[in-house]
Amino acid sequence: MFRKIFGGIVLTSLVFAGACPAFADPPAAVAACADPALPSAILDGSFVGAPVSLAVIDVRGAAKPLALAVANDERTRELGLMCVTRLRAQHGMIFVFDDDSVQEFWMKNTLVPLDMVWVASNGTVTHVADNVPASTRETPDDSVARRRGRGRYVIELPGGEAAGDGIRTGVTLSLPPLVTTTSSR
């Protein structure tokens, strides 16, 4: 009798634990094709990355502070947030270039909608592209979103985040000193 009751309790507990989100593993924050150096601090979900991850900086000047992974070399800028499926609010990536110039982004394998913010060397927001549509690995190249703007930095945030954080053209953000590097990780 004890075995039947105890076994029933264990089975019920296991079924309940699987159905209850508090006991379930968090959803994956990235697909297999993501940059393994992405810091888990910016991702909203589970992710096991490289032992050394990209630096994360704090940016002020928006209604809420932002935490951004730094993409300051060619390889990291190329991979960016490709294959990311979930970002935390007020988290994303900052792409660092040598100078203020036109920067165009092709959003291949960008699995979530993003807001893109172009920022001049002095921290002034020069352009915002909101809710840039996601693409998949199967999206034909000619259907993948492209956006361009002028700046030394480009910030990518979860779609809809920029407006909610008060980020618009003309706002000045406080950025720490950032430089590009020629070496890849």
Query: What confidence score (pLDDT) does residue 118 get?
Result: 98
* pLDDT at res. 182: 78
Rounded Cα–Cα distance for residues 36 and 30 (Å): 9
Name all domains of the chain by residue range, CATH numbers in brackets. Answer: 27-164 (2.60.120.1140)
The whole-angstrom separation of Cα 41 and Cα 139 is 29
The predicted pLDDT at position 25 comes to 60
168/64 Cα distance (integer angstroms): 13
Nearest to 91 by CA among 125, 60, 65: 65
Between these two residues, 171 and 4, which has the higher pLDDT value? Answer: 171
Exposure on the CB side of residue 96, measured as CA atoms within 13 A: 19
pLDDT at 129: 98
* Model confidence at 49: pLDDT above 90: no
For 10-31, how does the pLDDT look when each residue is reduced to its tens digit (9 = 90+)?
A: 333 333 334 444 445 667 888 8
Answer with the residue of higher pLDDT: 7 or 62.
62
Report the pLDDT value the prediction gives residue 7, as an integer from 0 to 100.
43
Residue 93 CB contacts under 8 Å (≥ 6 apart), including other chains: 42, 68, 69, 70, 71, 80, 81, 155, 156
Q: What is the pLDDT of residues 56-111, one digit of tens each?
A: 999 999 899 999 999 999 999 999 999 999 999 999 999 999 999 999 999 999 99
Neighbour count for residue 18 (Cβ, 10 Å) = 9
- What's the pLDDT score for residue 2? 43
Tens of pLDDT along 125-150?
Answer: 999 999 999 998 899 999 999 999 99
**Cβ–Cβ under 8 Å, residues 81 and 110:** yes
Task: Report the C-alpha gap between 170 and 28 in whole angstroms.
Answer: 36
